[in-house]
Amino acid sequence: MEHQAVLLQETIDGLQVRPEGIYVDATLGRGGHARLLASRLTAGHLYAFDKDAQAIQESRQVLAACAERVTLIHDDYRRMRQDLAAYGVEAVDGVMMDLGVSSPQFDDPARGFSYRFDARLDMRMDQSQRLDAWQVVNTYSQADLTRIFREYGEERYAGPIAARIVRRRQEAPIDTTLQLVEVIRQAIPERELHRKGHPARQVFQALRIEVNDELGALREGLQEACSLLKPGGRCAVITFHSLEDRLVKQYFRDCSTAPSVAPKLPLKASQMEQASFTLITRHPIEAGAEELQENHRSHSAKLRILERKQENEQN
């Protein structure tokens, strides 16, 4: 399936791209957002990150027409400051993040992300890393599996599913996605199996987040991105599930809130420290009716945008 970039126009418009600016696409994927952003640059440049080597390779063709304005970097975006410094870049005009798994990753059975295809449990975005879903399912303790399913998947039956997995792997390893799906089905009450949504969806989400340390990377990546922004620069983030969105929402809120001051301190307004950022989106931007109809991935997408204040706004 061809990957369709979600909230494409809204994201690029939200960055207020300057033709001569320096930008970062922290999650290149298959290059949809990067291509549109790069098309708006003249003397500017785009640095695009992805830890999936296959995504980097496939994006080269998508970005061929603007290759001279784009540098592809095979690394986790949590290290963007370090990587950009190697190119002499200390500050940027904008950063965008499109979180989660791209359609090609889900639709490639060999990657082991999907409960729709039978494949070895994998789920690694970076194929060179050692930890994969097979190791999590077959070596983590019951307590750790319960915690992961509950915290990262918000799975109601986290405990019973973890217990069933431990019993099953004592007989033989759980090697494939469909073997795991069957174990999950056995752990969930029959009445729950017919509810809306696939019964394995939340467990698979939890495993993917654990394998790729997605929330840890997001926390570090947001700090890296915002520390790189020039005055007037913006950070635009698209999330796809509640854990990501809550994290981004809280981080942006903290950045755009002035430090609290004891009410009895004799300070004038001009003497109080101001927030360094402005929250551009008080409420997240969501897909319109046309995109919702054309792209099923857009249904859960939320776009939030933060801007570093100009120097005179902070004084």
| Fold annotation for 110-212 | DNA polymerase; domain 1 (1.10.150)
pLDDT of residue 266: 55
Angle (CA) 86 216 132, round 5°: 95
Q: Which two tokens stand for residue 38?
A: 């790069």
Residue 1 confidence (pLDDT): 43
Residue ranges covered by each domain of the chain: 8-98+215-313, 110-212
Fold of 8-98+215-313: Rossmann fold (3.40.50)
Mean pLDDT, contiguous 10-residue spans, the chain (315 residues): 80 98 96 97 98 93 96 97 98 95 73 90 94 98 98 97 98 97 96 84 96 96 98 97 96 88 52 81 96 90 96 63
Find where tokens 């002035």 sit.
258
* Cβ(129)–Cβ(60) below 8 Å: no
CA 19 to chain CA centroid, Å, is 26
